[in-house]
Amino acid sequence: MNRNDWLPKTVLTVILGLVFVLNLGGCGYKTPPLPPEAVVPQAITDLRATITDAGLLLEWSYPRRTIRGRNLARIDNFELYRAEVPLDQVCADCPLPFGRPLIIAGGELDPKEGRTGHYDYTNLRPGHTYSFKILARTSWWAAGHDSNIISITWPPPDKNESEQPTPAPSEQESK
């Protein structure tokens, strides 16, 4: 085999290999790199539930800043976690069995007014305790920390039943 035969093929292969390797990192629009903390939203601290005719209305305030204190313009979505425990299995020291999250769309933020998120939860079964937590995301890789956890037993105690006085022991004995 002659040197003139394999040299052009080798040079061409090396050049094509270098072009390929150098283009691996050059696709797409690039911006200056940001540390993850610069875009991670603060944790939601005011998750609350209101009892409605249909079930529960969960409400929370959108985080307005990142964990580094930068203003946020948008929340991509929220992850709402729910744990459902039968009353006879409720344990004060046991971890809550949160399932897979429900994804709730986010949106733009008004820097002055803020924004409130809400979700109607109607799939409630009697004799169960429900616990909820939520977190905000500004992108698929930038999730905030868990919110406060709220818990409610369903159905809630009837106000009329809890307000009725119980008879005094002497009244019970005389009957």
* Cα–Cα distance measured from residue 82 to residue 121, given in angstroms and rounded to the nearest whole number: 10
Q: What is the pLDDT of residue 174?
A: 40
Q: Tell whether 140 is covered by a domain.
A: yes
Is 19 within a domain?
no
Judge whether 26 lies within some domain: no
In a domain, residue 5? The reply is no
CATH number of the domain that residue 139 is part of = 2.60.40.10
pLDDT at position 125 is 92
Q: Is residue 106 part of a domain?
A: yes
Residue spans of alpha helices (H) in the chain: 3-23, 159-163, 169-174
What is the number of other CB atoms lying within 10 angstroms of the CB of residue 56? 22
Q: How far apart are CA 86 and CA 101, in angstroms?
A: 20
Q: Using one digit for the tens of pLDDT, what is the confidence trace for 61-90?
A: 999 988 888 888 899 999 999 999 999 999
Bridge-based pairing state of the strands 150-154 and 128-139: antiparallel
Q: Which structural domain range is residue 132 located in?
A: 36-157
Q: Is the pLDDT of residue 105 over 50?
A: yes
Specify if 13 maps to a domain. no
Q: What's residue 96's pLDDT?
A: 93
On whether the pTM is more than 0.75, the answer is no
In a domain, 1, yes or no: no
In this structure, which amino acid lies at residue 100?
Answer: R
Give the number of domains in the chain: 1
Residue 7 lies in a domain: no
